[in-house]
Amino acid sequence: MKYDTKKENQFERTAIREIRKKRNTLLDGVGLVHTIENLREDEHVELPASLQILPIDCVDAKYFIKRGRHLNIPIPESKEEAYKERKGMLARIKERMEDAKGVYRGYGWTGLKSDRHKLFTLSDNIEGVEIYAASLENLTKCGIKIKDYGRRCIAHVSSRRERRRYKVDLMSLPVDDLHHADILDIEASCNCEENAFHGKLNYKYSSGEDRFCSHAVAAYLAVAQQKAESEKPAIRQSPIPIPSKKMVRFADLLDNNVVRDRITGKGEEKAMNVNKAEKEALLWLYLQEHGPAESFRFDEGARLEVYAATCYAIAQ
């Protein structure tokens, strides 16, 4: 996304009335992803209520976010096996994404130590990178403040749309020679509203689920950069592929150039923004249209210094 230093809120979505002022474009015969990615900044497209985006067995967006299927990332059965195999998490993620079919609520795996499920979403990865990139340019009110305790870090991350900060607790960070194993049990908690909503009703996993929201993603990147620039042990791996400029632009178009018609409980048709679940589904369709390599960067380097430069480039 392009940042406007004079804008009060860098992440505010365009209101429906403003989107509709842009020239209307019809869905083409090539496909939904093709139509959206070829929109110009002064164009918009309306998605009819009859268009099925989420899986037909998902009764609504909440169901998809909480109980929809995810892309499972296979991991070793023990830490000893992980250390012996020495395969990076980004390589595992890319490998599975190449076989992705259909839409998912995210990707993840179940840890070894606590059996807690780890969930990452494409939309939160992109938004987290944007928060981090904005913090590098001092375009957020609060920035990202970090307390480093080695394998555990606590960060306070700016809200995307409010003048406040959220507390993110990152644990089991992969900072030593056992990083191939430690990354499997990485944990994150955040006191944002989305995580509170996700945790209250999430009963898919009996041992719980660590959802890496956009604030946790931004915190992870900021922690990685701070450690790389300090004398403390650096983070050796990441579970977060960095989105390409084209992927970021597609996500921005979903927020600012797409209108979604829905049938309300009263049976009336109403124009709305694309919701979180639909955005996630459409990002997965984009990834499958263009392939993982064109959608994200899967840096295999042990240290993450390159991420700051990547995030800065995205912001331009």
Report DSSP letters for 28-82, one per residue.
-SS-HHHHHHT--TTEEEEE-TT---S-TT--SHHHHHHHS--EE----SSHHHH
Residue 313 has pLDDT above 60, yes or no: no
Report CA 175 to chain centroid distance, whole Å.
23
Q: What percent of the chain has pLDDT over 90?
A: 57
Query: How far apart, in Å, do the first and last CA atoms of the chain sit?
Result: 7
What digits encode the pLDDT tens for the residues 122-175? 999 999 988 888 887 765 555 799 999 999 999 999 887 777 889 999 999 999
Residue 301 has pLDDT above 60, yes or no: no
Residue in the block written with tokens 């020239």: 23
Task: Decide the pairing of beta strands 296-297 and 242-243.
Answer: antiparallel
Among 286, 279, 275, which Cα is nearest to 97's?
286
Binning pLDDT at 50, 70 and 90, where does residue 10 land? low
**Alpha-carbon torsion angle 199, 161, 119, 191, nearest 10:** -40
- CA–CA gap between residue 168 and residue 156 (Å, rounded): 6
Q: If DSSP codes are grouped into helix, strand and coil, which group holds residue 47? A: strand
* Cα-trace Rg, the chain: 19
Give the pLDDT of residue 199.
53
Both structure tokens of 284: 């997965």
Task: Decide the pairing of beta strands 269-273 and 258-263.
Answer: antiparallel
Residue 205 has pLDDT above 60, yes or no: no
Report CA 297 to chain centroid distance, whole Å.
14
- Predicted model pTM: 0.90
Task: Decide the pairing of beta strands 258-263 and 43-47.
Answer: parallel
Q: What are phi and psi of 33, to 5 degrees?
A: -60, -45
Residue 73 has pLDDT above 90, yes or no: yes
